[in-house]
Structure 1
Amino acid sequence: MQFIAYIIVYPILWIISILPFRVLYIVSDGLYLLLYYVIGYRKKVVTNNLKLVFPNKEDSEIKLIKKKFYKHLCDMFLEMAKTMSISKSELKKRFKIKNPEELKRIESLNKSVILMFGHYASWEWTIEVQNHINFSGYGVYKQLANPYFDSLVKNIRSKFNTKLISTKETISTITENEALGKKSMTAFLSDQSPRLSRDVYWGSFMGITIPCFTGAERLAKKLDLSTVYLKINKVKRGFYEAEVITLAEDSRKYKDYELTDMFLKEVEKQIYEAPEFYFWTHKRWKHMGKQVK
């Protein structure tokens, strides 16, 4: 069944990938109408999340954010498919690094780098960062249950020489690289919800106490890596700009969880500025108030 699902879906994704961008966004508009008005994909989750983090907003404001979000979600889904065939020059035009000199500066420290960012704007096109660095680029991802789709996602996100590694491979890969003297930049989507355990860190995100993913910070401190935040903004439809913000050249100097808090504050600032570009279908606040004792 997994292979059958793959051979049905793959041709559709490939056709989407070869569409001109102007046609792609016409398809996206149609997908938005289907997803929002007909299917109602996770509308309850999105509404609850928005009301939770924006308790003072009127229902009309929540509805407007929600509609804008679904339009962005459809754009991003189709842009992910477009990545299958996008050229290096086209991606460079559509995903600009605002301050590439900061990447060069952080590399000049001769320390491997942890690159943190959230589910905001376009995390799929962050593969463009690899074209601005000399270090080996890695992206940490959660392995999919369907091996065929998992291989497809790895191929798409590994364009331009970025290598995807699963969460289970992360520690061993970075540790081995460090032992060999091989410098790397490893990207973490660090705003997701971790599994609950007694030793999980509970921090504040959008004014709500929740369990926080701390793997990126722990690796940075353990292996003496620099920590960087990639602030991604959507400039207009199909165009993004990313700013490199160095959180710590020496991660070991910071108190436990301080870098995690700094990262979450950066994501928060972006959400408050333009909430429609955050990934609201994710159940980010599902564990609030469920501390394990």
Structure 2
Amino acid sequence: MQNHIEFFFFRILYLFVRLISFRNVQRIGSGFGAFVFSVIGLRKKLIFDNLRKAFPEKSEEEITKIAIGSFRNLFTAYFEILYLDKLTADQIRQYISFPEIEKFKAYLHSGKGLIILTGHYANWELCAFSIPVLVPEKYTIVVQKQRNPFINDFISS
């Protein structure tokens, strides 16, 4: 039952996001990230502990700014993911720069095969989504299965 409820709210959010502009999606995602951090406090203690270990020279004020910024970025990316297939190729080119694209194309067409790895940095989904738009070829994408099978099927289709 939990999977059905999660999927219901996921679909509502998905439909809402698609009614507004990409810029507003980013604003709402950023605001929601600040809300989740400040009001809900999701994993707040863990985040502060890790940031203090990573940046012992930073003040509590700086640590707090980094933590809030991380949540803003994370939730902006989550909201953007719901909008990706609505972006045009020109819009994607506005957001993504690919300075080594010619080198990438040369490797891709060398006949030796190519493995592309993306990490959870900035909006990793937008980066991965943009590659076939910027360099139209056939790609095989390997992803981890989502816990909720309804959401997994939806995003995999």
After superposition, the C-alpha distances for 1:88-143 in whole angstroms (9 at most, x for unaligned) are: 33223222322210111212321111112321111111211113446531222111
Q: Determine the structure 2 residue equivalent to 1:108.
A: 109
Counterpart of 1:137 in 2: which secondary structure? Answer: coil
* 1:45 correspondence with 2:46: yes
With the length of structure 1 as denominator, give the TM-score of the two structures: 0.48
- Equivalents in 1 of 2:118, 2:24: separation in Å? 30
Q: Which letter maps to 2:102?
A: E
Q: Determine the structure 2 residue equivalent to 1:12.
A: 13
Which moves more between the two structures, 100-109 or 18-27?
Answer: 18-27
After superposition, the C-alpha distances for 1:11-50 in whole angstroms (9 at most, x for unaligned) are: 2212113311332234234313421211012222222222
Q: Determine the structure 2 residue equivalent to 1:58.
A: 59
- Equivalents in 2 of 1:136, 1:33: separation in Å? 38
After superposition, the C-alpha distances for 1:239-293 in whole angstroms (9 at most, x for unaligned) are: xxxxxxxxxxxxxxxxxxxxxxxxxxxxxxxxxxxxxxxxxxxxxxxxxxxxxxx
Q: Determine the structure 1 residue equivalent to 2:80.
A: 79
Alignment of 1:273-292 (within 5 A): none
- Equivalents in 2 of 1:118, 1:27: separation in Å? 24
Alignment of 1:117-156 (within 5 A): 117-125=118-126, 126-133=128-135, 135-155=137-157
The question of whether the paired residues in 1 share the 8 Å contact of 2:96 and 2:130 is answered with: yes
Counterpart of 2:107 in 1: which secondary structure? Answer: helix
Q: Which letter maps to 2:155?
A: V
- Equivalents in 2 of 1:116, 1:9: separation in Å? 27
* 1:23 correspondence with 2:17: no
Residue ranges of structure 2 left out of the alignment (5+ in a row): none
Q: Which letter maps to 1:141?
A: V
Of Structure 1 and Structure 2, which has the larger fraction of its residues in strand? 1
- Equivalents in 1 of 2:111, 2:85: separation in Å? 33
Computing the radius of gyration over CA atoms, which structure comes out larger, 1 or 2? 1
With the length of structure 2 as denominator, give the TM-score of the two structures: 0.84
Quickly say closer, same or farther: Cα 1:86–1:135, change in 2 above 3 A. closer
After superposition, the C-alpha distances for 1:225-245 in whole angstroms (9 at most, x for unaligned) are: xxxxxxxxxxxxxxxxxxxxx
Structure with greater contact order relative to length (CA < 8 Å, sep ≥ 6): 2
Counterpart of 2:140 in 1: which secondary structure? Answer: strand
Of Structure 1 and Structure 2, which has the larger fraction of its residues in helix? 2
- Equivalents in 2 of 1:11, 1:58: separation in Å? 40
Number of aligned residues? 155
- Equivalents in 1 of 2:94, 2:23: separation in Å? 15
Note the C-alpha offset of 1:69: 1.3
Which moves more between the two structures, 118-127 or 90-99?
Answer: 90-99
- Equivalents in 2 of 1:24, 1:128: separation in Å? 18
Quickly say closer, same or farther: Cα 1:138–1:44, change in 2 above 3 A. farther
Q: Determine the structure 1 residue equivalent to 2:89.
A: 88
The question of whether the paired residues in 1 share the 8 Å contact of 2:7 and 2:150 is answered with: yes
Counterpart of 2:24 in 1: which secondary structure? Answer: helix
The question of whether the paired residues in 2 share the 8 Å contact of 1:24 and 1:78 is answered with: yes
